[in-house]
Structure 1
């Protein structure tokens, strides 16, 4: 059946004859393609290659060539020309065409050549490959970064949060024994208030500790100890810190002792399970009657008969009291030796019935 413009449609008997012509053409094309397998296509039409030139010319008006993307072009090129795939790092169809043109003019007879990917590389005649960084160097860099971060964090923690100390004397036995390692919370009393029963570390208010020369160290040992102390892995050797338990807060009236040998705070007698009395019945071998001034503390060691605490320094610069601004922090944990690991309690039940008092105004 004919259309008005004379074109022939592919239906009915007329379509059969045309269909037969297509079959014959396909056979001819396949034969030519088989005979020319491996031959290079023409330069100007490589990316749309479908067979020898005379076959393409014969069917140019009847078949629309299917476009070939860059990946298919590379595969076809690799199949027909013996070129290593790693030498063809092409990203666009235009680059595939450039490589095809170079191959058509340079490659033949089964010879294998490296094809440059870019014009700047063609002058050198070789393909530039990205350099791979050494994995070992990368590993060292990561370790160095982690180490620096760890040191910075450790210094910040030691400066503002916690600090290690060790116990050099028996004044706090049996709560703390010689060579115990403890952790001190630096947020008390600056951020968190302290209370009766807390074990605190404080600097010498004046005359509590004898003057001791610093131990001699080699340069290497000084540097190592300084580094370990800076990151909190070694307690400081300043020889200027003490540790005691708070008995009286500002305004408290503390007396020793009543008829039963107990301490009396603000007219309330207390029983002290933490005190080591060495076989004695009284909470102290020395009698005293004090009122704690503002911004000061009255402190005593748990080993009452072997502790030079506030009782023994009443003739000192602060009359035996410890100024609050000398308090470094509260001891909260025994972290070494492992068998003594544990939290340091402040026995709130001992002081639960003791009322608070305002400190007397200075006159």
Structure 2
């Protein structure tokens, strides 16, 4: 049986279009289900984030680590609305600060905090906290203007349950972000190629379907 003109191009066109849609739709669906975005509304995370900055966060993280920028529910402190802060200590850690110290102390060692605006102890709130299991101690990067764990030590020594963390900032240059970006880019590139092959296949079929007498 003779192969129809343009059939191979048509098959490739369909395959590329299906792949392109999958490469675009898959990452979009994954991002909508796994990530959220918020705008920083205050000064508590300067200089890392200024008011109005868009922040992408992974929803319901399986693990919260020291140094993570997180969005968290501050209801246990009697405060309203989710807040943005940085986890400086997790369950099992001892985090402390005495007035006049040049740095916070984490498990007996000075904590290097290059992200802090001003001095690490700005705000004048000393503390010495052993963080219970499955809880976290959260501070703002702008220590002089952050209503964070330091000022809620009457409630579980200022710690919050890990479950209060509802999102962790996603590294825009991390493996997941780069992979999703590459998949989207590949899908966007494949769609026009598939469309072009489809048009080419259709043109070939039309030409071959014209009777020889008409073409002569």
Decide whether aligned partners of structure 1 residues 321 and 185 sit closer, same or farther in structure 2, where only a CA change above 3 A counts. same
Q: Secondary structure at the match of 1:169?
A: coil
- Report the CA distance between 1:326 and its aligned residue: 1.3
Q: Secondary structure at the match of 1:314?
A: coil
User: What is the CA–CA distance in structure 1 between the aligned matches of 2:125 and 2:95, rounded to whole Å?
Assistant: 13
Within the alignment, does 1:307 sit opposite 2:180 as a pair? no
In structure 2, the residue matched to 1:169 is: 42
Mapping of residues 5-84 of structure 1, within 5 Å: none
Mapping of residues 221-260 of structure 1, within 5 Å: 240-257=81-98, 260=101
- Report the CA distance between 1:328 and its aligned residue: 1.1
Q: Secondary structure at the match of 1:182?
A: strand
User: What is the CA–CA distance in structure 2 between the aligned matches of 1:168 and 1:175, rounded to whole Å?
Assistant: 13
- Report the CA distance between 1:313 and its aligned residue: 1.1
Structure 1 residue runs of 4 or more that deviate by more than 6 Å after TM superposition: none
Decide whether aligned partners of structure 1 residues 179 and 241 sit closer, same or farther in structure 2, where only a CA change above 3 A counts. same
User: What is the CA–CA distance in structure 1 between the aligned matches of 2:49 and 2:78, rounded to whole Å?
Assistant: 19
In structure 2, the residue matched to 1:232 is: none
In structure 1, the residue matched to 2:59 is: 186
Q: Secondary structure at the match of 1:305?
A: helix
Decide whether aligned partners of structure 1 residues 291 and 156 sit closer, same or farther in structure 2, where only a CA change above 3 A counts. same
Higher share in strand: 2
In structure 2, the residue matched to 1:138 is: none
User: What is the CA–CA distance in structure 2 between the aligned matches of 1:153 and 1:300, rounded to whole Å?
Assistant: 33
Deviations 1:181-220 (A, max 9, x none): 11101262x2xx332111111122323524xxxxxxxxxx
- Report the CA distance between 1:270 and its aligned residue: 1.8
Is contact 1:275-1:283 (8 Å) kept? no
Which of 164, 176, 184 is matched with 1:326 structurally?
164
Within the alignment, does 1:204 sit opposite 2:42 as a pair? no
Within the alignment, does 1:157 sit opposite 2:31 as a pair? yes
Is contact 2:104-2:120 (8 Å) kept? no
Q: Under a length normalisation based on structure 2, what TM-score does the superposition of the two structures give?
A: 0.61
Within the alignment, does 1:293 sit opposite 2:132 as a pair? yes
Decide whether aligned partners of structure 1 residues 269 and 153 sit closer, same or farther in structure 2, where only a CA change above 3 A counts. closer
Q: Under a length normalisation based on structure 1, what TM-score does the superposition of the two structures give?
A: 0.38
Higher share in helix: 2
RMSD: 2.7
Deviations 1:244-265 (A, max 9, x none): 1111110111110386421001
